[in-house]
A and B are shown apart, each in its own frame.
Chain A
Amino acid sequence: MKRALPFIIIAAVLVLAVVIAWSLTRSGVPAVPNNPTPAVALNAPANGPVAPRIPAGEPGSDPPHAHGPANAPVTIEEFGDFQCPPCAMLHPVLKTMEKEFGDKLRVIFREYPLVPAHEHALAAARAAEAAALQGKFWEMHDLIYTNQNLWKEAFDVRPIFEDYATRIGLNVERYKQDLTSETVQYRIFLDGKRARSLGVKGTPTVFMNGREIPFESLAPEKLRLLISTEIANRSQ
């Protein structure tokens, strides 16, 4: 028995390692049923042809920042952090998909700044939300992501984001006041609450019609295939 004992221990550790890896994988997946209930169709007309599906959970900020019609057959909801490099890599991919699929795709962006890991993530989220109060969320969102490498190591990002605010034509004085406003902070809080209710552990976390998409499927060719398949399924 003693001769076999080390092999039993090694095998037990191997099994335990596999179980832990599997449970870690599962812990990042929100409890969404296989056929999620249609849903909390944000901004969707009551008699829309197809209700978009988004995962249940806390509602998040309302209205969400969204591109594309509310009744699009495919809704992508991204939980992003402006300072996270993989999120910046996903940004042009989603832009391409929006162009390719037009009104068949709706993209929602939710704030999930990883604080304190990313020291400027919250400031960036506030800048985008403050710009949203003047109707320029996506313009600020795009500038922040496109220039991530230029500001992520800056000591003070406020003047950089103020420069972006000027470039996109915001009233900069109002923008500066809005940065610390309750509305801005509450929207970020509500998105974070929704993220936690869905079990979001990191960024970017992306849901497509209520199902979480693994990061490796967010490469342009894979995402294109996923969206096309989803559109085909929804039109049947």
Chain B
Amino acid sequence: MAAAPEPVINTTPSQSTLLYAAVSLVSLVGLGDAIYLTVEHLAGRSVICTIVSGCSEVLSSKYASLGGIPLAAVGAFAYFAVFSLATLAAFGYKGMGKPLAVIVTLMFLFSIWLFYLQAVVIKAFCQFCLLSALVTLILTALVVAIRVRGGKRIAAQ
């Protein structure tokens, strides 16, 4: 009987490992934020903004859901996917970097769109949405650093 293929595990901690671990930790912040917004959306309440003053305008707008699904729930799913992939990558599992980069890129583009909606269309900002945008921006920077580092390593070999 053929044995199941062993996952390829890199046992030496590297800078990439640390960067992937950072992605995992940062994505948890986004996950918590998105869970909070999802629950409040489903409860149908006006979320109280303490820093800016447009939470209920943003979160009760037609852009707050996508085909009946709260946008925050989509965000929670995306953050969880990022967390899972980055955690696996941090433990040396190969092949996680590319899907991670794709998801984070989509999240980054989507965050730009959402920021535009808040600033130009709704003309109100929600602090929890801004936090999510900031988290995505940090994740993008970390993933870019990982990819750049990976590219340099290949070029050096």
Interface residues on B, range: 20 to 34
Question: Which residue, A24, A81, A205, has most C-beta atoms of chain B within 10 A?
Answer: A24
> Please, which residues of chain B bring their CB within 8 A of the CB of A205?
45
Count CB-based A-B contacts (< 8 Å). Answer: 94
| CB nearest to B55 among chain A residues | A117
> Please, which residues of chain B bring their CB within 8 A of the CB of A25?
39, 42-43
> Does A14 make an interface contact (CB < 8 A)?
yes
**What's the least CB distance linking A81 to chain B, in Å?**
7
Q: Main secondary structure on chain B at its contact with chain A?
A: helix
Of residues 116 through 136 on chain A, the ones whose CB sits less than 8 Å from some CB of chain B are 116-119
Q: How far is the CA of A81 from the CA of B35 in the complex (A)?
A: 24
How many residues in A have their beta carbons less than 8 Å from beta carbons of B? 35
> Does A218 make an interface contact (CB < 8 A)?
yes
Contact with B along A89-116 (1 / 0, CB 8 A): 1000000000000000000000000101
A13 touches B28 (CB 8 A): yes
Q: How far is the CA of A205 from the CA of B46 in the complex (A)?
A: 9
Q: How far is the CA of A17 from the CA of B32 in the complex (A)?
A: 8
A86 touches B9 (CB 8 A): no
> Does B115 make an interface contact (CB < 8 A)?
no
Contact with A along B75-97 (1 / 0, CB 8 A): 01000100110011011010000
A2 touches B9 (CB 8 A): yes
Q: How far is the CA of A125 from the CA of B42 in the complex (A)?
A: 26
Of residues 3 through 41 on chain A, the ones whose CB sits less than 8 Å from some CB of chain B are 3, 5-6, 9-10, 13-14, 17, 20-21, 24-25, 28
A202 touches B48 (CB 8 A): yes
Q: How far is the CA of A116 from the CA of B46 in the complex (A)?
A: 13
Q: How far is the CA of A203 from the CA of B43 in the complex (A)?
A: 10
> Please, which residues of chain B bring their CB within 8 A of the CB of A182?
none
B35 touches A24 (CB 8 A): yes
> Does B14 make an interface contact (CB < 8 A)?
no
Q: How far is the CA of A28 from the CA of B1 in the complex (A)?
A: 55
> Does A65 make an interface contact (CB < 8 A)?
no
| CB nearest to A205 among chain B residues | B45
B43 touches A214 (CB 8 A): yes
**A6-B93, A86-B44, A201-B45 known; A20+B32 contact, CB < 8 A:** yes
Can you list 11 A-B contacts with CB-CB less than 8 angstroms, sorted by A residue number? A3-B91, A6-B90, A10-B83, A10-B87, A86-B46, A202-B40, A202-B46, A203-B46, A205-B45, A216-B44, A218-B44
Q: Which residues of A contact B (CB under 8 A)?
A: 2-3, 5-6, 9-10, 13-14, 17, 20-21, 24-25, 28, 81, 83-87, 89, 114, 116-119, 201-205, 214-216, 218
